[in-house]
Chain A
Amino acid sequence: MVEVLYFAWVRERIGLAREQVETEAKTVADLVAELSAREPRYEAAFADTSALRVALDQELSEFSDPLAGVREVAFFPPMTGG
Chain B
Amino acid sequence: MKISVQSAPFDFAAETASFGQGRDDVGAVVTFTGVVRDDSGDLEALELEHYPGMTEAAIGKITEQAMARWQLADALVIHRHGRLAVGEPIMMVATAARHRVAAFEAAEFLMDYLKSRAPFWKKEHMRSGTAWVAAKEADEDALNRW
Contact surface of A with B, Cβ cutoff 8 Å: 5, 7-9, 55, 58-60, 74, 76-82
Contact surface of B with A, Cβ cutoff 8 Å: 34, 49, 51, 53-54, 57-58, 79, 90-91, 111, 114-123, 132-135, 140
Q: Report A-chain residues with C-beta under 8 Å of the C-beta of B122.
A: 80
Please tell me if the beta carbons of B57 and A81 are within 8 angstroms of each other in the complex: no
Decide: A79 near B135, CB < 8 A? Known: A7-B49, A7-B121, A8-B121: yes
Please tell me if the beta carbons of B121 and A80 are within 8 angstroms of each other in the complex: yes
Query: Do most interface residues of chain B lie in helix, strand or loop, or is the interface mixed?
Result: mixed
- Interface residue from A5, A74, A82 paired with B118 (Cβ < 8 Å): A82
> How near does chain A come to B63, taking the closest CB pair, in angstroms?
13
Please tell me if the beta carbons of B51 and A55 are within 8 angstroms of each other in the complex: yes
Closest to B122 in A: A80
In the bound complex, how far is the Cα of B122 from the Cα of A82, in angstroms?
10
Closest to A57 in B: B54
Closest to B110 in A: A82
- Interface residue from B79, B134, B140 paired with A81 (Cβ < 8 Å): B79
Apart from A58-B54, A78-B140, A79-B115, 13 more pairs, CB < 8 Å: A8-B121, A55-B54, A58-B58, A60-B58, A74-B51, A76-B121, A80-B120, A80-B122, A81-B114, A81-B116, A82-B90, A82-B114, A82-B115
